[in-house]
Structure 1
Amino acid sequence: MQATKDNRLGTENITRLMISLAIPSVLAQIVNVLYNIVDRIYIGRIPGVGAVALTGVGITFPIITIISAFSGFASGGGAPLAAIALGQGDRKRAERILGNGVSMLLFFTVILMAFFFVFQKPLLYVFGASDNTIGYSSTYISIYLLGTVFVELAVGLNTFISAQGQARTAMFSVLIGAVVNIVLDPIFIFVFHMGVAGAAVATIISQALSAAWVLHFLCSEKSGIRLKKAGMKPDFSLIGQIMALGVSPFVMSATESAITIVMNHGLQVYGGDLYVGSMTILQSVLQLVFVPISGFTNGVQPIISYNFGAGKFDRVKMTIKRMISITFLAAFVYVVFAMLRPGLFARLFTTDEDLIALVKKVLPVYIAGMSVFGIQSGVQSSFLGLGQAKISLCIALLRKVILLIPLALILPRFFGVMGVYYAEPVADILSVLTASTLFLLNIRKILSKEMLAKVTHTT
């Protein structure tokens, strides 16, 4: 039965397969982003302190991002390798990859909790907190850290379900937690008068339920690759391979944290709390485009990995071509709409008229480069699906570390606080051009029997 589910990745009509796998994944990612966005919407409406509380919670974003980023080592590295192993008919290897991924996530949980509990307050000030906002930041993140293990397991293991071609099941794991979070947020925040603490408690409970669902499925007979105690025994060679491929999605996520730190600091220095608050809203708007696209590429990626492992290069090419076309079109339409209606998005998160006016001014500038970013998302996901860790990592580092962070530091010296906002579109456009060039130069070489043999040998 499970073999039939796996084989459909290599035999079913590409378009029908992409729809069946991508739609649940997109819905899952959209629902998942509601964890943070719903928190911010409710927090921004706390009577009397909404704008300041929203800014305070937004400052915790780098810590939350880093926690999720570490799950990327297991999910972004392990899931494609597991899918390739399934394509080669090696189910035992796929299960060992899963087991070692769980061991990695548990190890990361201990390290992350210890580090952030010890250095929490000084880090929050570095991230852009002021004396007015530190209380809200510290309260929210202190509670959130207690649920670190749930975040690591829920986010890090869900892609192993998608890698089997079971995108609907993966969607339900996210849906359960997100719905609970949406329901509990207003109860804890307004009914129990817990404020930002209530938002954090609701998030922990919802993530715990998602983690329980994922673990239950992966340990059951319904899962094609089952989580077993024996498979969790650390295999450092295998862990090294998982981390080599997972380092790219890790960098993609972790550098979001570094970017937020640099931008919030610049906004605090050149503007003040109001400008830092605007970044919380801008990042939420970016999530509304980036996360669904990420969900789409995550859903399609198992098709690429499985068929590459099976040597069916025509199906790989067709999948990649359609994926990039769709990601470009989706990003372009959304970004143009957001640029034309910035006030609509601003009012989702705040009732403060000064903050709304600022967001209406800077949102069209900040988000402009994302109009073509769907191309890079499709290209980078293609490289990941093909097991090309080095190229994928190069693209990730280029946009965020090599371009965006330096630009966010340099441009404000010439353009003042607006320079912080200009950095994003400049970096986006340059990185898209570079990613497209690397794709055109390398894709034919990668889709060869020689490269497949090389990837099989190293993984």
Structure 2
Amino acid sequence: MAKASSQELGNKSIGKLLIQQAVPASIGILVMSLNILIDTIFVGNWIGPTAIAAINMVLPVSFFIAALGMSIGVGGSSIISRALGADNEKKALKTFGNQITLTIFITILFVIFGLIYINDLIPAFGGKGDIFEPAKIYYRIVLYGVPVLALCMMGNTVIRAEGKPKFAMYAMMFPSVGNLILDYLFINVFDWGMTGAAWATTGSYIMCFIFILWFFLSKNSELKINVKHFGLDLPIVKEIGSLGFVTLSRQAIVSVTYLLMNNILFDLGGETSVTAYAIVGRMLMFALFPVYGITQGFLPIAGFNYGAYKYDRVKQTIYTAIKYAALLAGIVFIFLMVFPETITSVFTQDAQVLKETPPAMRWVFAATPIIAVQLIGAAYFQAVGKAIPALLLTLTRQGFFFIPLILILPNFYGEMGVWMSFPIADVLATIVTAYFLHREVKLNLKPKTTE
């Protein structure tokens, strides 16, 4: 597919390409994160701190189902990027059609399951005591819109794989702004409480879907699919599944982490500790937006050039992405170490939460300057279609290190042991990722012009 927008990935300077891809991705992530952040501020100030904890209970379930769309999107987009690099239009189109079919079918099944077992899932994720009822209200309404969110997550990664980062940014910005407007109307003006917060979120998913549908139906997209592309192709489904399983496993581990953290912290400190974790979790989504933007921008560049056998450019992309991401992570680290009290006070004026959250935030972000290697390293293997190492490196931080640490350290250090687990897991995961990335570059990224 000899379109300039995708072919530029193999020709432009890496630094310019990375900025071109990462800046819109970062802005999109920033706006989406601000949406979540301000949504939490609105809920905390207009409904109460318990409502923040209630939303935190729902996130693991809704995020996991949405991650099904993201995993299908990332897995398929890796194929699409490499197919575009190899000028294989037929495979790119068939892959996109299969992504849509898989996303719709799988997410609807999970939503049905989630609604049937609503009264079991919420307590399992820590929605106990005063948290249960508001969490149930929010959960049910948001779950209705999650298949739409999954389609948005899938479509957004495909837009980026086409080399259209600005449209991917717009797809994240429009619903985020809309959600804030709906939040104000439904919560503050109409006084709908948790119901208003939930419908504002679901409404934002629909806005995003409308924009993404317009993009693919318009002349802006290179991928013009028809009915024949929706039929499932087993080899493509397997490839999407093997690569997408990496993203799905990461989100599954995140959901398990939420489950364990909410229950452990509820047992150790009650609703206050769960609320503190909810605030810190929002900052994890928000503060690292530029680092995640670099990672998102890195994926299509690495995938395209790997598919075109331009291994020198792949290596240059790896090193440049790590350099940029590390610089940005260092700036984030300084900001969070200096202003955690001020940040916490924006969410709530509850005295106990104000006391507990700042030290927790400092512990959680203590290893932030080194996470660039971890994120880019795992993303590289996914971008080039190496599913097994991508999966293992993705699971390294939370699966192999973090979860065992939060099960062990609180026995010796109480609640502080939970917060200490974050930087220890980051350091260990970065060491492992650096070793395998260095080995991969040395052995398998030798110059090659033909296959």
Q: TM-score range by the shorter chain?
A: over 0.9
Q: Which residue of 2 aligns with 1:321?
A: 319
- Provide the rounded CA distance (Å) in 2 between the counterparts of 1:379 and 1:166: 24
- Provide the rounded CA distance (Å) in 2 between the counterparts of 1:304 and 1:2: 18
The Cα offsets for residues 356-376 of structure 1, whole Å up to 9 and x where unpaired, read as 111122211122122311221
> Aligned to 2:430, which of 432, 444, 449?
432
The aligned runs of 1:28-427 (5 Å cut-off) are 28-46=28-46, 49-427=47-425
- Provide the rounded CA distance (Å) in 2 between the counterparts of 1:371 and 1:152: 31
Q: Percent identity?
A: 28
The Cα offsets for residues 97-126 of structure 1, whole Å up to 9 and x where unpaired, read as 111011111012211211110112221111
Query: Are the structure 2 counterparts of residues 107 and 35 from structure 1 closer, same or farther at C-alpha, using a change threshold of 3 Å?
Result: farther
Does 1:9 find its partner at 2:5? no
Farther off after superposition, 285-294 or 110-119 = 285-294
Which one-letter code corresponds to 1:377 in the other structure? L
- Provide the rounded CA distance (Å) in 2 between the counterparts of 1:68 and 1:348: 28
Give 1:451 shift. Answer: 12
Query: Could you list the runs of 4 or more consecutive aligned residues of structure 1 that deviate by over 3 angstroms after TM superposition?
Result: 289-292, 448-453
**Aligned-partner SS, 1:71:** helix
Conservation of the 8 A alpha-carbon contact between 2:309 and 2:449: no
Give 1:226 shift. Answer: 2.3
Q: Which residue of 1 aligns with 2:19?
A: 19
Conservation of the 8 A alpha-carbon contact between 1:220 and 1:226: no
Conservation of the 8 A alpha-carbon contact between 1:369 and 1:429: yes
Which one-letter code corresponds to 1:373 in the other structure? I
- Provide the rounded CA distance (Å) in 1 between the counterparts of 2:138 and 2:206: 17
**Aligned-partner SS, 1:60:** helix
Q: Which residue of 2 aligns with 1:457?
A: none
- Provide the rounded CA distance (Å) in 2 between the counterparts of 1:310 and 1:2: 13
Which one-letter code corresponds to 2:354 in the other structure? I
- Provide the rounded CA distance (Å) in 1 between the counterparts of 2:383 and 2:444: 11
Q: Which residue of 2 aligns with 1:456?
A: none
Conservation of the 8 A alpha-carbon contact between 1:2 and 1:224: no
Conservation of the 8 A alpha-carbon contact between 1:320 and 1:378: yes
The Cα offsets for residues 240-277 of structure 1, whole Å up to 9 and x where unpaired, read as 10111111121222211111111111111111110011
The Cα offsets for residues 123-152 of structure 1, whole Å up to 9 and x where unpaired, read as 111111222111110111110011022101
- Provide the rounded CA distance (Å) in 1 between the counterparts of 2:3 and 2:418: 51
Which one-letter code corresponds to 2:331 in the other structure? V
The Cα offsets for residues 55-80 of structure 1, whole Å up to 9 and x where unpaired, read as 11111121122122211221220111
RMSD of aligned alpha carbons = 1.7
User: Unpaired segments of 5 or more residues in structure 1?
Assistant: 454-459
Conservation of the 8 A alpha-carbon contact between 2:37 and 2:286: no
- Provide the rounded CA distance (Å) in 2 between the counterparts of 1:152 and 1:430: 32
**Aligned-partner SS, 2:45:** coil
Which one-letter code corresponds to 2:408 in the other structure? I
**Aligned-partner SS, 2:276:** helix
Conservation of the 8 A alpha-carbon contact between 1:327 and 1:377: no
Give 1:20 shift. Answer: 1.5
Farther off after superposition, 288-297 or 389-398 = 288-297
- Provide the rounded CA distance (Å) in 1 between the counterparts of 2:335 and 2:107: 39
TM-score by length of 1: 0.95
Conservation of the 8 A alpha-carbon contact between 1:330 and 1:374: no
Query: Are the structure 2 counterparts of residues 217 and 2 from structure 1 closer, same or farther at C-alpha, using a change threshold of 3 Å?
Result: farther
- Provide the rounded CA distance (Å) in 1 between the counterparts of 2:449 and 2:133: 54
Conservation of the 8 A alpha-carbon contact between 2:305 and 2:311: yes
Farther off after superposition, 383-392 or 140-149 = 383-392
Conservation of the 8 A alpha-carbon contact between 1:69 and 1:251: no
- Provide the rounded CA distance (Å) in 1 between the counterparts of 2:16 and 2:448: 30
Conservation of the 8 A alpha-carbon contact between 2:315 and 2:441: no
Which one-letter code corresponds to 2:6 in the other structure? D
Conservation of the 8 A alpha-carbon contact between 1:35 and 1:178: yes
Query: Are the structure 2 counterparts of residues 366 and 4 from structure 1 closer, same or farther at C-alpha, using a change threshold of 3 Å?
Result: closer
Conservation of the 8 A alpha-carbon contact between 2:288 and 2:332: no
Give 1:229 shift. Answer: 2.0
Conservation of the 8 A alpha-carbon contact between 1:65 and 1:256: no
Give 1:401 shift. Answer: 1.2
